Every structure is written in C-alpha cells, then in structure tokens.
Amino acid sequence: MPVGTQATVKTLTPDELYAMGAGIILSNTYHLHLRPGEDLIAQAGGLHGFMNWKRGLLTDSGGFQVFSLKGLRKIDDNGVHFSSHIDGSPHYLTPEIVMEIEQKLGADIAMCFDECSPYPCSYEEAEKAVQRTSLWAARCKESHSQADQALFGIIQGNVFADLRERSAREITELDFPGYAIGGLSVGEPKPQMYEMLDHTDTWLPVNKPRYLMGVGAPEDLVEGVKRGIDMFDCVLPTRLARHGTAFTHQGKLVVRNASCATEFSPVDADCDCYVCKNYSRAYIRHLIKASEMLAHRLLSYHNVYFLVKLMENMRNSIRQGEFTSFYEKFHQNYRF
C-alpha cells in the first residue's frame, strides 16, 4: 500500500497510482484528525471523495504516531492525552473516539487503536502494551458499527516471541476479518524482525489477510511474503525519493550523487515505468541539484511503481508455484 499520510501519496495523483496498478493506499487517522479534521472529510463524502481516490483505502488508527510523541503524551488504560505536533493543542483519543473518527473517514479498512511499545523496551513494558492492545481491540470491535468498513486487529509483543504468540491468540479470539502485525521495523535488527515473522503461519489464520505494518524495503517485502505476509505499507519509496534515492533491481541508487551527473541511462534499466522510459539519471540529478520539485515527483513515481510491481511479481510467482525461484533470483541480483 503506497502511503498517503495526509490524504495524498506525496507528489502523485490517484490516476498515476491507478496506472501503476495500485489497488489500495493507506492514510492516517492521527494526521487527518489534526488536519483537516474528520468532520470536514465526512462533509466531502469521506476520504475517498475528499482526495478523489476510487480504489481501496485503509486508515491506520494513529496509535503508532501518538506513542511516538514522547514527552507530549500521557497514557492510561482508558486512552491517551497528547499535544498536537502542529500547534501543541491538547487532544484525547480512546478506542471509541478512534472508531468514530475512522468511521467518519470512511476507509474500506480501519485499524484498531493499539499501543505500540518502543525498541528497545523491557519485557514488562512490552507485556503491558500487549494487554492494553487486547483490551482496546475488544472496545474497538464493540464500538465499531460501520457495515461496509472492515476492522482489522493488530498484534503487538515487541521482539518477544511468547508475547507475540499471546497477542496473536488474544486478538484472533476477537475474530477480526484481517490481522496486522504492528510494532516491528521500529529499530530492531532485521534478523530479529524476521524471527518474529517466522511463526506467522502458526499464529494467524490462513484464510484472512495478514498485514505487516510500516514495512516496505524491497528485501523486507520479499522476506515478509516468504513468511506468509499479504499486505505492507511504508513511507520509504516517497521518503527516499525526497532524498534523491531510487530503488533499482540491483539495489538502491543515489541519483543525487555526482556519479549520475553524466549518466544518460534510465534510473533502472530493468524498469518499464514512465520515468525510466522517458528520463535519464543525468536529468533527474540536475533537477535534484536545482531543487526542482519534478525530481521528487519522478523519483516518487519510480519508487512506488517499483514496490507495486515487486508485489505483483511475487503474487504471480506464488500463483505459478514459483516463489522459491523468485526468491533466489531476487537475492542473486539485489544488493542490500
């Protein structure tokens, strides 16, 4: 899922995302609640209407963002008091309030309000977040009533396998139509993240979508799919683009670097996207050096396309029973 935190996948239009084959995007309850507010969006016919997006839409609950506001928030079992990162204004979120906001936003999939523990953290702290996440998941389910919106549960547990297992058991007992794995890719070493995913097939039902939150490096998508993950979201493609970096089939390319100044080849010779068919590394590097927005736009387009196609290719390889060879080929070519 390309990420449209503030009701826009940065620099891109819905039409461009349709053309890439993107079927669903993610937006964020915390950000939209603060600006422009869920009531304005409801007036515009919900988030689909507001941002002119006609395909699938998922809203994250904002739990991750609120818990990232260190020093600006106070949490108890009922909910979270916090100060806006925009203007310092006081806000209060509970599972019930978040459900109300997400229903006003009207995405196809809403996420439960969860507590995401930081990395590193103690076992006790992680356990407390698991308990609260389960408590809040039950309250979210109880207060969520919009029939045409699916509500997904979120598994927490930090890097502790037994907490992950317990969280998965408690959340799946509530019977959601889909399950997310939250609180990973927050600073832990990659092998530790992969280890937490090793039991996905045991802990989560096979007949419901599994969504690994906030994960989006190409190698992590491949490792995630190998471990049974169906959905991902990540700001990486558009963030890297703003920093002048592109995904390629051979690994990341810093287009900003002087080495690209006289390269009249495309960003990625193995890519058939609009950008790679029409623009050179030298031109895009010039745009970066000249602080031209078209640089962000072209690299965002390419990077989002790269991940959308990577997922499409993995889906095709699974359908054809060839995921293992896909996996090996990916690792032969891709430099981390």
Binding site for a second copy (CB under 8 A): 6-8, 10-14, 35-36, 40, 43-44, 50-52, 261-262, 264, 278-280, 282-283, 286-287, 289-290, 292-294, 296-297
Which 3-state string (H, E, C) describes 126-190?
HHHHHHHHHHHHHHHHHHCCCCCCEEEEEECCCCCHHHHHHHHHHHHHCCCCCEEECCCCCCCCH
Least distance from a second copy to the Cβ atom of residue 16, Å: 10
Return the number of the residue (264 or 336) whose C-beta is nearest a second copy: 264
Cβ closer to a second copy: 74 or 85? 85
Residues with active-site annotation: 60, 233
User: CB 129 → a second copy: shortest distance, Å?
Assistant: 30
Strand, helix or coil for residue 251? strand
Q: Compute the 3-state secondary structure of the chain and give helix, strand, coil in percent, each to the nearest 5.
A: 45, 15, 40
In this complex, which beta carbon is closest to a second copy, that of residue 9 or of residue 212?
Answer: 9
| Beta carbon nearer to a second copy, 144 or 297 | 297
What separation in angstroms does the CA of 174 have from each of 49, 178, 299?
A: 31, 11, 42
Least distance CB 237 / a second copy (angstroms): 15
Amino acid letter for position 207: N
Say how far apart CA 289 and CA 150 lie, in whole Å.
44
CA dihedral over 12, 16, 22, 27, signed as positive or negative: positive
Question: Residue 246: which H helix or E strand, with range?
Answer: strand 245-248
Cβ nearer to a second copy, comparing 31 with 144 = 31
C-alpha to C-alpha distance for 70 and 80, rounded to whole angstroms: 12
Q: How far apart are CA 71 and CA 83, in angstroms?
A: 9
CB 158 to a second copy: min, Å = 32
Please state the closest distance from residue 44 (CB atom) to a second copy, in A.
Answer: 6
150 contacts 177 by C-beta, under 8 angstroms: yes
Chain centre to alpha carbon of residue 114: 15
